[in-house]
Structure 1
Amino acid sequence: MTDSHGFDTVQIHAGANPDPATGARQVPIYQTTAYVFRDAEHAAKLFNLQEVGYIYSRLTNPTVAALQDRMAALEGGAGAVCCSSGHAAQIMALFPLMGPGRNIVASTRLYGGTVTQFSQTIKRFGWSCTFVDFDDTDAVKAAIDDDTRAVFCESIANPGGYITDLDAIAAIADEAGLPLIVDNTSATPYLCRPIEHGATLVVHSMTKFLTGNGTVMGGVIVDSGKFDWSASDKFPSLSEPEPAYHGLRFHETFGALAFTFHGIAIGLRDLGMTLNPQAAHYTLMGIETLSLRMQKHVENAMEVAGWLENHDAVEAVTYAGLPSSPYHDRVDKICPKGAGGLFTVSLKGGYDACVKFVDALEIFSHVANLGDTRSLVIHSASTTHRQLTPEQQEAAGAGPNVVRISIGIEDPKDLIADLDQALKKAS
C-alpha cells in the first residue's frame, strides 16, 4: 500500500495479498516451524542475509510478515518487527542500541510495568534509566549525557491519558543525535502517527486497541527508516561489522531497513521473543476495524468523561479531550482525531472509595488490560503500579485515589448508569 491510500483502506489491505498457493483472500495461518529450501545454495543465501525469505518461524513467518507490513504501512514506517508482547517490543527496541553502562531517558508518565522494567529489570543488562517529567523540556535536555542511547515516552500516557508534545521531545533527541522511541499503544496509528512528529521507532502492545478484543498478546517495533545509525560511534551494532554475519554492517548493507533486519536476524534469532502465527492472524483481523472502533472509543470517552467531571463524588478527570485538561491544546496537534479512550478518575473518598467503586461496577470489567471493545476498570495503585514507590505512583498519575478507566464501544448511556450506581455505593 502507498501513502496515497486512506487509513481505512490500508488497515484492511496492507500485507494481505491473496495467498499465492490457494488464492485465499484472508491471510492464512501458516502454522509451521520450518520451510523447505529450493536447494543448498538457496539455504546458504538465506542464512547469510543475501536473500530474503523464510527459514524458521522464530525468525520469519508469512502470517507474521503480513502483520509487520500492515503495521509499517499504518505507522508510515520503513519496516516492522513483531514479537510476543509489548514488553518484548520495548526490550527488542533497546537491544541494538544499548550496552553495559549505557542509559535511556524516559518519561515519568509511563505504564507501571514499563517503569518497573526500566527502573529494575534492565539493570541486569548493565543498562539504566533516568526518569524525567517530559513537560519540562529543560529537564529532559539535562538528563541526557554521553552514555544516553535513547529517549522514550508514550504518545498518550497510560494511565492518565496525558498527551506528550512529541515534536518538542523529538527536537531534543535529534539535537543529541539520539533515537526517540514512542510507545503508541494507547493512541494507535489512527489517532497519532509519531513518526510524523520525529519519532525514530514506534512500539506497541498489540494486545490492546490494535487487536481490540482481549484474545491474544503481541508487540511490534516499527522502524521509521530515517535515523542515521552511522552518524556517530554510539550504535556499533548497526554501524560496525557484525561478527555473526562475517563482518556485515547492517546500516551500510540495508540502509533504511537496518534496524528492521537487525531486529529479525539478531533480535528474534537470539532473544526468541517470537509472535505466534495464530496471534498474528487475530491481530490482523482486529486491525481491519481499528478506525471504526477508535472513533467510537473517542466518542464514548468524551461523553463519559464529561459526565464524570460534573459528578459530586469526583475530584478530577484526566481526559485530554476535555477543555479543562492542561493537555487539551495538544489534541489537535498530536492526536487530531481525538484523545483516545483512556483516562483516570480521582475520587474524593480516596483509596477506600476507589476499591468500593471498582467492586460495585457491573458492566465495566475489572481486569489488568485496556483497549478492549468492553469497558474496563482498574485501581492502578494496588495493581498495575503496585511495585512503584508512592512518589513514582504520583508521578505516573496513579495515586491511591485514582481509578483507571478504559472506555469501550458500548452504549454510553449504559456506561454512565453503571458508573452512577457504583459511585453512589462508593460514597
Structure 2
Amino acid sequence: MAGGRIFVSHLAGVAVFDPNGDQVGRVRDLIVVLRVGRKAPRLLGLVVELPTRRRIFLPMTRVTGIQSGQVITTGVLNVRRFEQRPPERLVFGELLDRRVRLEETGEEVTVLDLSVQQLSSRREWEVDRLFVQRGGRGGAFRRKAGEQFLVEWSAVTGLSLEEKGQGAENLLATFEQLRPADLANVLHHLSAKRRAEVAAALDDDRLADVLEELPEDDQIEILGKLAEERAADVLEAMDPDDAADLLSELPEGDKERLLSLMRPDDAADMRRLMAYEDRTAGGLMTTEPIVLRPDATVADALARVRNADLSPALAAQVYVCRPPEDTPTGKYLGTVHFQRLLRDPPYTLVGSIIDDDLQALSPTADLPVVAGFFAAYDMVAAPVVDESGSLLGAVTVDDVLDHMLPDDWRETEYHLDEPAEEAPAAGQPADAPKEATADGS
C-alpha cells in the first residue's frame, strides 16, 4: 500500500472489513486536516458507517489495506460516534465542489476529485493531486461541461490555512511536526483556556501521546475538561502504565466512572497496575510488551518489532512465554534481543535462541533496585515476572528515568544547543556581576 495513489471518489461507499473478512461498515467520507503554508493537507482517516447507522472515525493507522474495492482494518475499532474537530475537513462534504485558484494564472477552478498518497518513509497519507474543472461547478459524482485536468495540490491556493489567526487549528498546524514532548511543553505554557481548546482539537492518539509528557496537574486539568466518553478513549490510547498513574490521581468516583466506560480488557489492565506501589517494578511496568510463543519464528518477531506504535525501548526485545500470550502470560521462558533477531535466519524458532541467564524483576522490586538492574546490565527494557513464573509486563528505561528525575523536571525547558556561557572580559573576575541592561535584566 506504501506509495500508492488513490482517488477519493473510488472510496465512496466502499465496504470495510476486519482481518477475518467480516464486514464492519462502509466508507461515508474521508477526513483531512489543512495545514499552514505550503504543506500538503494530511489524510487522517475515514468516516465509517456501521450497520447500526452510527458513524465512527477510523484512523489511517488502523488501515492495513485498500484494494479491490474494499478497505481492510486491523480489527481494532473505536465505536464512539464521530465528531468533527476544528482542524478537520470532510472531503466529500467540504472539499469536493470547492472553488480554488490556480497559482500560476489566478483562474478559479472547481475541485471534482482529489488523490491521496501514502508517504514511503512514514505511515502518513497526504493529498497530492487535484482533478479540477474550468467553468461551472462539478463534483466527484457528476460532470458538467468545461475542461477537466489534473494539477498538483501545490499548483492551487485555497487548500491551506492562513498563517494568521489564533484558532486552535492554526496553532495545531503550526506545531504539527513537534514531538509529543515538545508539544507538551508548548501546551504547558499556554493559558488554561487555550490548553483546553488545543486538547479538544487533537485526535485521541495524539492527545494521549502529549498527555504522557505533561506534568500531573496539567494531565488532570485537561482530562477533567473532556467529555467522559472521550476521556476514557484517550486513556485507552495511552500507555497502560501512564494511564494507570493518571487514573490513580483522580477522585475515586471519577476513576470508577472512567474505568466503567473503558473496554473491559483495558480496564482490567488499569486495575492490575494500580494495585502495585507507584515506585516499584509493578507500578512502573507496561502490560503490553511483545510476547511470543516459543514456536514463533524470527520472522514473526521482526514483524512485531516493526510496529511503528511501539516505543524504541519496547521494540528492543521480545519476551518468549508459553500460552496465553496476553499478560499475565503462561510461564516466562526468556528474552530475545533485537540484535540476536538480526543475526539469525528468519525461519529460526525464537524458543531456540532465548537469553534465559538474566534474572527477571519482581513486581515488588523498588525503584533503586530497578535502576541498578538497568545500569548493571545495560538494559533499555526488562521483564517483570511474578512468583508463579508468569510475565506480568516490562519496565522501560524511560519510565525509570521519569521517576528518578525531580518532580518538576517536565516543567524545565532543556536546550541541548545552548551557547556556552560568555567568558568574563579581560581583567574582570569570573564571578563579577554582569552589567544591568536598560530594562534592569
**Rg bigger for which structure?**
2
More strand by share: 2
* TM-score interval for Structure 1 and Structure 2 normalised by the shorter chain: under 0.3
TM (normalized to structure 2)? 0.27
Relative contact order (alpha carbons < 8 A, sep ≥ 6): 1 or 2 greater? 1
